[in-house]
Amino acid sequence: MVIGIFSVQVPSILFAPSHLLACYTIATGTALVMDCSYSETMVVPVVEGTPVLWALQSAPVSPCDGLPQSVFFFR
- 1-17: pLDDT as tens digits: 555 555 667 777 778 88
Taking only the tens place, the pLDDT of each residue in 21-59 is 888 888 888 999 988 877 788 899 999 988 898 888 888
| Rounded Cα gap, residues 41 and 6, in angstroms | 38
As its CATH architecture, domain 18-73 has: 2-Layer Sandwich (3.30)
Domain ranges of the chain: 18-73
Rounded Cα distance, 18 and 40, in Å: 16
Reduce the DSSP state of residue 56 to 3 states and report it: coil
Is the distance from CB of 43 to CB of 73 less than 8 angstroms?
no
Q: Is the pLDDT of residue 70 over 60?
A: no
